[in-house]
Structure 1
Amino acid sequence: MAKKRYSCPTCSEEFQKETSSNFPFCSKRCQLIDLGEWASEKYSVPSLETPESDFELEELKGSTAQDKLVH
């Protein structure tokens, strides 16, 4: 039976899982490239909340940024 081949999400190179200690990447280089993309915020996880919705929530509570200032 032929071993399953995977495609690296960074460079699209095909490889076998057993030959890569950096799975799901084909190499340490591709793993670090991916990490760099996350660190530079090129990738992000979608969120249901937006900064605007946080502001609207504060307005609904009757609180404003001005109310929070210490005089």
Structure 2
Amino acid sequence: MSNTVLAIVYEAYQFNVFFQLFQKLAGERKYNFIMYSPYYLPNTEQYIQLCTRDGFHYIYSTTKYGGDAGVL
């Protein structure tokens, strides 16, 4: 059974830090990785693509217009 690692991303620079960490740990295949942001960050669409490509999950709860994203 794998463990889940949840990273809460409040600012754009944090995405890069967690993404690099997740990439280093991904080789062990023991973890499911989730990044959650309560905000719609400037590069959210790019973050989603990068995470999907590497098998990670990126979840955000606010749309770029400030409304509820309804993804939780």
Q: TM-score range by the shorter chain?
A: under 0.3
Q: Which has the larger radius of gyration?
A: 1
- Normalising by structure 1, report the TM-score: 0.26
Q: Greater strand percent: which structure?
A: 2
Relative contact order, higher structure (CA 8 A, sep 6+): 2
- Normalising by structure 2, report the TM-score: 0.26
